[in-house]
Structure 1
Amino acid sequence: MPKVLISDKLSEAAVQIFRDNGVEVDFQPGLGKEPEKLAEIIGSYDGLAIRSATKATAELIAKADNLKVIGRAGIGVDNIDIAAASAKGIVVMNTPFGNSITTAEHAIAMMFACARQIPEADASTRAGKWEKSRFMGAEITRKTLGLIGCGNIGSIVADRALGLKMRVVAYDPFLSHERAEKLGVTKVETLEELLPVADFVTLHLPKTDKTANLLNAERVKLMKKGARLINCARGGLVDEVAVAEALHSGALAGAAFDVFAEEPAKENVLFDAPNILCTPHLGAATTEAQENVALQVAEQMSDYLVKGAISNGINAPSVTAEEAPILKPWIALAETLGGFAGQVTENPITEIEIEYVGEVGKLNLNPLTSALTASLLKPLVGEGGVNMVSAPIVARERGVKIAETRKDAQGAYGSYIRLIVTTEAQVRSVAGTVFSDGKPRFIQIKGIGLEAEPQPFMLYTTNTDTPGYIGALGQKLGDLNVNIATFALGRAEKDGEAIALLGVDEELSEATLKEIANLPQIMQAKALAF
């Protein structure tokens, strides 16, 4: 009988679901706050069910010799070292949609409380004061809400705000104009367009390398004088010192934060600022949301431990036990193709078409399409924001159309997958196959043939087909101490556009990539990681 440890607070109904499915449960809801004790016993369990208090660090995972699955009751997985779990073959699951409405409602509640200074007015009144003139508020109606991030939660906030007769302006690099029109929001291309016109600004996006400190000091200064800022998304998206300074100076009329750069936030520069409302990460803290995500994670973990089925896997495809051996190499290829396209795409995606050619077209395409779509969207929405099961939903919410085509074998390769990505600016394609060694290969990019085995770190360039380019690129990489592992080339026609795909030994830094991009022959240079 598989054995699961629940180390955070979870519904009793969830505990019963485990038992009903033949899973032994050890319910210790306070153990997540005692990492040393948790580390002592983790080796005895097949599954670990957690919320946010438990930190599944690399050190903890290293001691989890029997652990097969970590289930996160909620969407955020920043308290789990996914790389360490993956390296040890531990499936990580989350419940991406169980608390979306609750989090959106909290953002709206914080906006109202901030606009009318409700917490301060309540404290003042209960202290025996009657300070009507002190607590002059602001109306919500006809004001402009600046939405930073318009995915699942952000779109719910937009819907609620429009119901309040607000004008909604949205910044999301991967929100299509068609999707924005359906939502009834005005899309802007940059934060610099949004911040000066918004009376209220609210954030709804994951924390990634690209979004960390997104609202830095310079951008905080761009906000409309007297605006109010709400963050119920993730700590670290906003420069808290800059916000505190803006509140002290009166540049901002108020702010409301549910998340902080360091949590639990026992001390923070915002706490001493005027007109600030702070809550202890309550975005998902409703009875309904807690119950939903608890029941979901219990069902998912039970299905995996008992039947081998994977749902909402962050680091593993959702396939049945019977299909896994057949689909595994093709799923790896699909993830590689999607990961390539996601990393090189800079404009909002409107449509993706996936061509399954030859024998692969006879397989169950759902996990292949989901794997490809998830890997395509991950660079855009963050690791925790999309997985195998949620990928089609996330794509639909962002207005991305998905089309599948099965074709008979044709060309030099008997079976392959081609991904065609349409954005508002261009159409891009990439194709690959699985060789007899079971490993994926790139066979075509932008209609140009080449053959390259994916590497953990790669450099992709488009360049003019001129003599001396290979030597110039090799010399530049040598000067930058970048070692080349593999090198593949292709071109459309002589003296036309060419491409190069190189495997390199280490991840390329932004500074190194900038140096490479300065070569006169290069039209575009991208650092890739798989």
Structure 2
Amino acid sequence: MPKVLISDKMSPKAAEIFRARGVEVHEKPGLTKDELLAIIGDYDGLAIRSATKVTKEVLAAATNLKVVGRAGIGVDNVDVPGASARGVVVMNTPFGNSITTAEHAIALMFALARQLPEADASTQAGKWEKNRFMGVEVTGKTLGLIGAGNIGSIVADRALGLKMRVMAYDPFLTPERAQDLGIEKASLDDVLARADFITLHTPLTDSTRNILSRENLAKTKKGVRIVNCARGGLIDEAALKDLLDSGHIAGAALDVFVEEPAEKSPLFGTPNFISTPHLGASTTEAQVNVAIQVAEQMADFLISGGVTNALNMPSLSAEEAPRLKPYMALAEELGSLVGQLVSEEVRGVTVEVEGAAAELNMKPITAAVLAGLMRQHSDTVNMVNAPHLARERNIDVAEVRHEREIDYHTLVRVTVRTPEGERSVAGTLFGNVIPRLVEIFGIKVEADLKGSMLYVVNEDKPGFIGRLGTTLGEASVNIGTFHLGRRAAGGEAIVLLSVDEPVTEPLMWTICRLPGVRTVKSLNF
């Protein structure tokens, strides 16, 4: 039974779902770093919110960890590259708090437009400063979105309902999607120059860090009001204060800060500035939603292999996983075979699928090929870190999907590019379940890839098979299966056989000295 640790305060619905799905779960919120390090090695999964820091040190201690699930969107508290290198899947729940966060952005926009916090404080202080708080309408104003993904699109929908004009800067926003949303796709400079309100809805990355820098803030329309419920670090906070003080920016509302908890900030006390303590996802509904989603996602992965909302692995639904499982097993065996047979540096890998395989999600198949291939370099390789290791080694990876008539119901071909040329192996599934090799380096051969095997390239001449069998027999090596293939009569031939125990190095050298032998390799699957 898989074991999951919930290390942050989370809705009890999460634990209920884990238990109902057959996952042992322990709820231990508020652990110190040392306490977490002492127990994390016992768990297959770690469910967190924002308090737990999944650092390199934690990952090193998490010897059995397979998945980290973040109940929420941001994974700033997770060392995602470190997790990838260790083969740990990192998931988040990008949709569970989308509506809540979008509504908070709209609420802050209204608060800025009508100076609600200041008016409330003044009124409760016994003042009646009706003439002091002159607001603006949002109707007819232009809202500029920086980021038009899931949350940004919800904000756009709500703003259109308020009769605002909406424009958006998002490099991934297609003209078709913008048209569907009823908004204008624009450049960042256009948004800065024309928007009366600007809201940010983008993750914090190297390309978005300080996207509202001092220079860009200076480009904004005079009197603009800015709302950030996304991530701290998207706005230069010192520059924002200066432009608020100067009056160029009419108001700003931040729910997120560069440093959190934000107990001190130069913005605090600035006129026309509103702050909230990272409340974007803080509604009862959102807390329950993200807890349910992270538990369902992690349980799917640990029980059936389904992958949803992973940041470092291709998605694979719980429904797809059983169907793809035999194809992934075949792909991993082919990757392992070519990795063991090719001794030169691998510079590129091409994965081709035909027949039934061409109708499937190809990403997990490719990841499985890379896992088999890269396992020759590390014992801890899996489908999560194999693509990461391939990138580290500058291995170019390509995918090709064929729609053509073939001899087999399905076919997966793996081709590696080396300084000496290309090498290719191919396989199929018997009965849609059993992986079967059908080709090695252009030579037709049918074989199961299991356990210890011996691969021999030889000249196709009479008597060789007998000499090979005799040599193995004299060494007390029992042959399980025996498979043959050749390019042409009298030309290059191969022998692929399974043995009950690995062939020793001295025996390998004995086989190498047999007449006609060109190559001998011991394989293991």
Distance 1:235-1:48 versus aligned 2 partners, 3 A rule: same
Distance 1:405-1:286 versus aligned 2 partners, 3 A rule: farther
Q: Does the 8 Å contact 1:358/1:408 carry over to 2?
A: no
Residue 268 of structure 1 corresponds to 265
The amino acid across from 1:224 in the alignment is K
Looking at structure 1, the residues matched to 352 and 206 of structure 2 have their Cα atoms a distance apart, in angstroms, of 39
Which one of 175, 200, 205 corresponds to residue 203 of structure 1?
200
Shift of 1:366: 4.2
Distance 1:249-1:409 versus aligned 2 partners, 3 A rule: farther
Q: How does 1:333-372 map to 2 (within 5 A)?
A: 359-363=353-357, 365-368=359-362
Residue 190 of structure 2 corresponds to 193
Shift of 1:436: 3.4
Aligned residues: 367
Distance 1:359-1:187 versus aligned 2 partners, 3 A rule: closer
Shift of 1:329: 8.7
Secondary structure of 2:108's match?
helix
Q: How does 1:398-477 map to 2 (within 5 A)?
A: 406-408=403-405, 435-436=424-425
Looking at structure 2, the residues matched to 329 and 191 of structure 1 have their Cα atoms a distance apart, in angstroms, of 47
Residue 458 of structure 1 corresponds to none
Residue 2 of structure 2 corresponds to 2
Shift of 1:409: 6.4
Looking at structure 1, the residues matched to 353 and 363 of structure 2 have their Cα atoms a distance apart, in angstroms, of 15
Residue 95 of structure 2 corresponds to 97
Looking at structure 1, the residues matched to 24 and 40 of structure 2 have their Cα atoms a distance apart, in angstroms, of 14
The amino acid across from 1:212 in the alignment is R
Residue 74 of structure 2 corresponds to 76
Looking at structure 2, the residues matched to 328 and 313 of structure 1 have their Cα atoms a distance apart, in angstroms, of 21
Residue 302 of structure 1 corresponds to 299
The amino acid across from 2:162 in the alignment is L
Residue 371 of structure 2 corresponds to none
Q: How does 1:212-361 map to 2 (within 5 A)?
A: 212-317=209-314, 318=316, 320=321, 323-324=324-325, 326-327=327-328, 359-361=353-355
Residue 456 of structure 1 corresponds to none
Say whether 1:136 aligns with 2:125. no
Q: Does the 8 Å contact 1:148/1:172 carry over to 2?
A: yes
Q: Does the 8 Å contact 1:5/1:49 carry over to 2?
A: yes
Looking at structure 1, the residues matched to 28 and 67 of structure 2 have their Cα atoms a distance apart, in angstroms, of 17
Q: Greater CA radius of gyration, 1 or 2?
A: 2
Looking at structure 1, the residues matched to 208 and 190 of structure 2 have their Cα atoms a distance apart, in angstroms, of 17
RMSD: 3.1
The amino acid across from 1:25 in the alignment is V
Provide Cα deviations, 1:24-66, integer angstroms capped at 9, x if missing partner: 22112222xx323222221122211001111111111111112
Looking at structure 1, the residues matched to 413 and 326 of structure 2 have their Cα atoms a distance apart, in angstroms, of 18
Provide Cα deviations, 1:307-352, integer angstroms capped at 9, x if missing partner: 3333322222326267346337979x9xxxxxxxxxxxxxxxxxxx
Which piece of structure 1 moves more, 280-289 or 308-317? 308-317
Secondary structure of 1:147's match?
strand
Looking at structure 2, the residues matched to 112 and 200 of structure 1 have their Cα atoms a distance apart, in angstroms, of 10
For structure 1, list consecutive stretches of 5 or more residues without a partner in the other structure.
Answer: 334-355, 373-386, 388-403, 418-432, 439-530
Q: Does the 8 Å contact 1:241/1:269 carry over to 2?
A: yes
The amino acid across from 1:123 in the alignment is A
The amino acid across from 2:83 in the alignment is A
Residue 485 of structure 2 corresponds to none
Shift of 1:357: 9.9
Secondary structure of 1:210's match?
coil
Provide Cα deviations, 1:203-250, integer angstroms capped at 9, x if missing partner: 111111111111110110111111100011111111111111111111
Distance 1:134-1:209 versus aligned 2 partners, 3 A rule: same
Q: How does 1:391-402 map to 2 (within 5 A)?
A: none
Looking at structure 1, the residues matched to 63 and 273 of structure 2 have their Cα atoms a distance apart, in angstroms, of 46
Shift of 1:370: 8.5
Residue 52 of structure 2 corresponds to 54
Residue 434 of structure 2 corresponds to none
Distance 1:92-1:220 versus aligned 2 partners, 3 A rule: same
Looking at structure 2, the residues matched to 109 and 416 of structure 1 have their Cα atoms a distance apart, in angstroms, of 55
The amino acid across from 1:301 in the alignment is M
Looking at structure 2, the residues matched to 122 and 44 of structure 1 have their Cα atoms a distance apart, in angstroms, of 51
Q: Tell me the TM-score normalized by structure 2.
A: 0.65
Distance 1:229-1:434 versus aligned 2 partners, 3 A rule: farther
Shift of 1:157: 0.7
Q: Does the 8 Å contact 2:354/2:406 carry over to 1?
A: no
Looking at structure 2, the residues matched to 262 and 365 of structure 1 have their Cα atoms a distance apart, in angstroms, of 47
Distance 1:222-1:163 versus aligned 2 partners, 3 A rule: same
Which piece of structure 1 moves more, 179-188 or 231-240? 179-188
Shift of 1:405: 7.2
Looking at structure 1, the residues matched to 135 and 234 of structure 2 have their Cα atoms a distance apart, in angstroms, of 27
The amino acid across from 2:225 in the alignment is R
Looking at structure 1, the residues matched to 227 and 353 of structure 2 have their Cα atoms a distance apart, in angstroms, of 51
Shift of 1:406: 2.9
The amino acid across from 1:27 in the alignment is E
Looking at structure 2, the residues matched to 299 and 434 of structure 1 have their Cα atoms a distance apart, in angstroms, of 42
Q: Does the 8 Å contact 1:94/1:313 carry over to 2?
A: yes
Residue 146 of structure 1 corresponds to 144
Secondary structure of 1:129's match?
coil
Q: Does the 8 Å contact 2:6/2:47 carry over to 1?
A: yes
Q: Tell me the TM-score normalized by structure 1.
A: 0.64
Secondary structure of 1:360's match?
strand
The amino acid across from 1:326 in the alignment is Y
